[in-house]
Structure 1
Amino acid sequence: MNTIRKAYLANIGMITPTGYDASMTATSVRAKISSYQVSEYMTPDNKAATMSGVPEVLFDSFALDIDEGEYYSDMYDRMIKMAIISAQEALSSTSTDSSIPLILALPEPIPGIKQIPQNLFLKNLLNREGVPLSLSDLHVFHTGRSGVIHALELAIDYLYNQNKECVLVGGSDSYWHLPLIHHLAQTNRVLTKNSKDGFVPGEGAGFLLLTKDKNKALNVDGQVIVLHEPGLAKEAGHMFASEPNRGDGLDAATKAALSPLESAQVKKIYSSMNGESFWSKELGVAIMRSSAKLDEDLDIEHPADCYGDIGAASGAVLTGIAALDLLKNPAAKYYMVQCSSDGPWRSALLLEKEPIEA
């Protein structure tokens, strides 16, 4: 008999333009509070980009020293500081004496755009007070929005095959970088006053502390959150491909994630959709083909409407928000998170609410 492998959510850390921590972000998303603003970034056709950013006061008041290396930029600064803050929040509940494996999601490579060097990012994140992470148990996925859910597959392997007490997964990303804005604007992807099909560049970081020990899970009124093994697949018709997006990748990932269910039980989907029409078709295909396992009154949430597109932080932030929502919803037992990268990777995750004494 096959063992059903799953992880319990032990804690959450996040920072987004709508919240300095997990609770504030989840509350603001639930209240539909938007942090959109007309920025000082100008597109090549001289239009002001609509963006969403973490308030500058947070970065200016950051008290820890940062190793800037040979080259440093505002984008690097923001990604590093957001990651440290949210990782410390996620790890604030742990009392382990041993170092914790880290599985990290970072932005997808973009030709011509200088992304943060992995070594610089990790040098600043590791060896911080309140961040007892293991340098020897470290993995990085450069797969953007799908990265954190992709990382969950490896995290569950750590919990079961290497008997780790807990694992930290997370991601950090920022679009607040002029060359990146110009690159996106050249293909009309950035939302401006006159554009019809762009997205709002945002930024954020999110981390999830996972455990196999139910007694160490985040407990709200006697309920805990189970994260099942994720569904992962590739889409041939991704953003950079010549083929059309038929939605087969997200469909396959969704079906794999829903495999533990036998009937229509998922009440809500949290999606990484960012406002671009490109993503609507594949979401529709995935929902239609898995309708037998989705509630008839299914709700679909895309919090990028509140905080913008947060790239590689999407999986952790969406999972954290979904978990906190599910814990407060007495009518629901299952939620789902779906994430689609600009490149081929698609991912889906089933969340289950379970009583602590079950």
Structure 2
Amino acid sequence: MSGFPIAITGTGMVTGVGLNASASCAAIRCAIDNFQETRVMDNGGEWIMGCGVPLEEPWRGKTKLIKMAAAAINECLEGNKQLKPEATPMLLCLSEQERQGRVIDDDNQFFLDLQDELGLEFHEKSRVIAKGHVAVAVALKHARSLIQDLKVKHVLIVATDSLLVGTTLAHYEEYDRLLTSNNSNGFIPGEAGAALVVEPVSARQEYQLVCVGLGFGVEEAHVYSEEPLRADGLTAAIKESLADAGHGESVLDFKITDISGEQYYFKEASLAFSRIDRTKRTEFDIWHPADCVGDVGSVLGVVMIAVLKTSCEKSYTKGNHILTHLGNDDGKRSSMIFFWQRGREQ
């Protein structure tokens, strides 16, 4: 293994199907969604469907993003009393700065506002990662460096995002990306906040969800491109993550992805895996939690990992070696390899 393994030891979630991690994961396991009509109409005169988070007050915009993130962070803090904010870097995952309808105009100020909401200050190595879907993989790479090089005990990865913004919905509808009355090849938008606690892999005997490999790539034939899709970027990312983990694809039991309904991403996932698969399998399951919570932007990767952790703990996975991959509309791709293993196995 060329990479440095790190463990996911805590989760927090606020989604349209649950206001904490356990409720959200239970709903996703049961394939329960909360898709409802938004306040925005499509070009056919029908209400666009979305998956909003029902908080106690009708907050909107930046305020709601902060409230969702704060709730997820507090869940992680309550679940791990050894986590000290002042000694813990927080890696805040946000949408891409160029995304249409983005409500955050100053990322650094948003970070400070989130700290004010919590009444806490985090480690000086905290940072904002405005990378959309792939942000969680970038954050795990930074977390690995912080744990390996600076010997920090915990890193908190936090994400908050919402696609339920009029300008954002109008942009996606213009490019036939949304599921509407006029378009069946699209996704349902959502919003969420989520957080992960990341630690060094311990020597304890209990099982842990361990990230053993990370990989990145760029797809030239992205969703807005007119180039023929060969899935080169995702293939490269998966190969790099396997090399980082020090394993071949034969160890993989199933995968969990950010696919949210568009045929382009299903085709890409199928092409990429077919180009690396050399093992005779009777099945290779694919999970996509966006079926329940919608496309929640930069939060989707964190939701996927939280779902994976809970499923491993409750023993309803398809195996202990999992491929996870994500992609941005501009072609950025990431891949992560997770093992459910005892802490001493490295």
TM-score normalized with structure 1 length? 0.87
Q: Is there any run of 5+ residues in structure 1 with no aligned partner, and where? A: 61-72
* Counterpart amino acid of residue 56 in structure 2: L
* Partner SS, residue 315 of structure 1: helix
Letter in 2 for 1:273: I
> Is the aligned partner of 1:304 residue 2:290?
yes
Does the CA-based 8 Å contact 1:74-1:177 persist in structure 2? Answer: no
Cα contact 2:203–2:344 (8 A) shared by 1:
no
Give the equivalent residue in structure 2 for 1:170: 158
Q: Paired residue for 1:58?
A: 56
Q: Residue 213 of structure 2 aligns with which residue? A: 229
8 Å CA contact retained: 1:262, 1:293: no
Residues 99 and 132 of structure 1 are in contact (CA less than 8 Å); yes or no, is this contact kept in structure 2?
A: no
- SS class of match (2:152): coil
Q: Which runs of 5+ in 2 are unaligned?
A: none
Q: Is the partner of 1:133 in helix, strand or coil?
A: coil
> Within 2, Cα distance between the matches of 1:133 and 1:294?
48
Distance change >3 Å, CA 288–CA 232, structure 1 → 2: same
How far residue 38 of structure 1 moved from its aligned partner, in angstroms, is 2.5
Distance change >3 Å, CA 293–CA 49, structure 1 → 2: same
Q: Secondary structure at the match of 2:142?
A: helix
**Which of 237, 242, 265 is the matching residue for 1:253?**
237
Instruction: State whether structure 2 residue 339 is matched by structure 1 residue 352.
Output: yes
Judge conservation of contact 2:136–2:157 (CA < 8 Å) in 1: yes
Change (3 A) 1:236 1:357: closer
Quote the residue 1:243 is aligned against.
227
AA at the equivalent of 1:26:
C
Question: What value does the CA root-mean-square deviation take over the aligned residues?
Answer: 2.3
Percent of pairs with identical residues: 25
For residues 83-122 of structure 1, what are the structure 2 equivalents within 5 Å?
Answer: 83-92=69-78, 93-97=80-84, 98-110=86-98, 113-117=101-105, 118-122=107-111
Shift of 1:78: 2.0
Cα pair 1:7 1:226 within 8 Å, conserved = yes
Residue 103 of structure 1 aligns to a residue whose secondary structure is strand
Q: Say if 1:318 and 1:256 are closer, same or farther in 2 by CA, change over 3 A.
A: same
Residue 200 of structure 1: aligned partner: 188
The more displaced of 182-191 and 27-36 is 182-191
Change in CA separation of 1:153 and 1:357 when aligned onto 2, cut-off 3 Å: closer
Give the secondary-structure state (helix, strand or coil) at the position aligned to 2:307.
Answer: helix
What is the match of residue 320 of structure 2? 333
Amino acid of the residue matched to residue 289 of structure 1?
R
Q: Does 1:74 align with 2:63?
A: no
- Distance between the aligned counterparts of 1:22 and 1:245, measured in 2? 36
Aligned residue in 2 for 1:343: 330
Deviation at 1:35, TM superposition (A): 1.3
Q: For 1:156, which of 121, 139, 144 is the aligned residue?
A: 144
What does residue 272 of structure 1 align with? 258
Tell me how far apart the structure 2 counterparts of residues 40 and 114 of structure 1 sit (CA, whole Å): 18
Does the 8 Å CA contact 2:18/2:24 hold for their aligned counterparts? yes
- 2:248 alignment partner in structure 1: 262
For the 8 Å contact 1:265–1:295, the answer to whether it is kept is no
What letter matches 1:327 in structure 2? Answer: E
Match of 1:63 in 2: none
Aligned residues: 339
Instruction: State whether residues 156 and 229 of structure 1, in contact with CA within 8 Å, keep that contact through their aligned partners in structure 2.
Output: no
Deviation at 1:161, TM superposition (A): 1.1
Deviation at 1:311, TM superposition (A): 0.6
Q: Which residue of structure 2 aligns with residue 49 of structure 1? A: 48
1:199 alignment partner, SS class: coil
Contact between 2:92 and 2:157, CA under 8 Å: does it hold in 1? yes
- Letter paired with 1:58: E
